[in-house]
Amino acid sequence: MSEADMNEKDDGEISRIYAATPRDEPSAAMDEAILASAHNATPDKRAVHANSFHWTRLAGIAATLVIAASLAVLMQDEQPDIAVLAPPSRDAAIAPMAKVPNEALQPAETAQQSMAPGRGDSRTRDRTDRPERNSGPVQSDQQQAQPEASPSRADTTMAAGGAPERRAFPVAPAPASSPASAEPALQSSGVAAAGVAARQYSGATAERSRPQSAESTTRNLADAGASRSIESPQAWLARIEALRKQGRIREADDSFAEFRKRYPDFPLPGPGPSFPNPDR
């Protein structure tokens, strides 16, 4: 055994004897004081985490409630419109227009009448009044019609009017003091919304089965205000035919030109004496 080994053994003996000495330890009170000091010096992460979790959870619940309440309000506001605007089928949506043939010639005038009380009110009332107005006497509308009311003006104002507004949320009353202001209001808000509703709720299957031009024309019709102010192309053509038969050729030509402006793609019933050459 080397000297180093002997020293290690002797050192081990000293260590063993020292280990047998009383194991003095700090008092429990001192331990508590030191540990308390250590805890106080350090923020309790678990508590902070629990608080933050609690806070985020509450915030999440509150946000969910707010969103749910907003959606409920939105749905409550939109459902009546849908119910009113949505006819059971596309034919039903278009049919009333056929009963008011002359309104198509004077959209501005019709819009003026319907929108005069104010856009917000009129929209709701128009929807609810639609059956009565559609079933009303056509003659009265014809008498009120202004021949010089130009659809081209309507196109212009619609193009300048920008995107259609949301329906069922009248933010501010529309200016309805003049036909020029009432017309874009009609076309940009209520009519467009009615068109959207008509597209949504009309028979999609029947629409698919129709020719493309008729479909697009019908869609244009719906978009332009299918509810009540524009007559159907068929009715319009029938009226033109009637004018021709009455000898009112000039009026028939003007009306047909107007018709072509509005429905450039609408197929004519067939080449006949009543209608000028489409390529004219």
Look up residue 155 and give its amino acid.
Answer: D
Q: Which of 2, 4, 26, 270 binds another protein (CB under 8 A)?
A: 26
> Closest CB to another protein among 22 and 272?
22
Among the listed ranges 21-29, 130-138, 196-204, 237-245, the one in contact with another protein (CB under 8 A) is 21-29
CB of 29 to another protein, least distance (A): 10
Contacts of 88 (CB under 8 A, 6+ apart): 201
Stretch that binds another protein, among 16-24, 69-77, 123-131, 244-252 (CB under 8 A): 16-24
| Separation of alpha carbons 159 and 157, rounded Å | 5
For residue 50, the minimal CB distance to another protein (Å) is: 14
Using CB under 8 A, which residues numbered 95 to 134 contact another protein? none
Q: 138 vs 63, 104, 176, CA distance in Å?
A: 53, 12, 23
State in angstroms the smallest separation of the CB of 51 from another protein. Answer: 14
- Least distance (Å) between residue 55 CB and another protein: 19
Residue 249 has a CB neighbour count (10 Å cut-off) of: 11
Burial class (CB in 10 A: 0-12, 13-18, 19+), 109: buried
Binding span for another protein by CB under 8 A among 15-23, 217-225, 247-255, 262-270:
15-23
Q: Which of 2, 4, 14, 270 binds another protein (CB under 8 A)?
A: 14
Tokens of 177: 């003091």
Interface size with another protein, residues (CB under 8 A): 32
To 10 degrees, the CA torsion angle through 197, 137, 107, 86? 0
Q: What is the DSSP letter of 266?
A: P
Return the residues of window 30-49 that contact another protein according to CB under 8 A.
30-31, 33-35, 37-39, 41-45
Q: In the chain, what is the greatest distance between 2 CA atoms, to the nearest angstrom?
A: 142
Residues 184-203 that bind another protein (CB under 8 A): none
CA dihedral 158, 162, 167, 168 (to 10 degrees): -100
Residue 54 CB, shortest distance to another protein, in Å, is: 19
25 scored as a contact of another protein (CB under 8 A): yes
Q: Quote the CA–CA distance of 169 and 173 in Å, as a whole number.
A: 11
Span 58-77, contacts to another protein by CB under 8 A: none
User: What is the Cβ-side half-sphere exposure of residue 34, based on CA atoms within 13 angstroms?
Assistant: 5
CB 107 within 8 A of CB 229: yes
Q: Which stretch binds another protein (CB under 8 A): 25-33, 117-125, 141-149, 250-258?
A: 25-33
Q: State the residues that interact with another protein by CB under 8 A.
A: 3, 6-7, 10-11, 13-15, 17-27, 30-31, 33-35, 37-39, 41-45
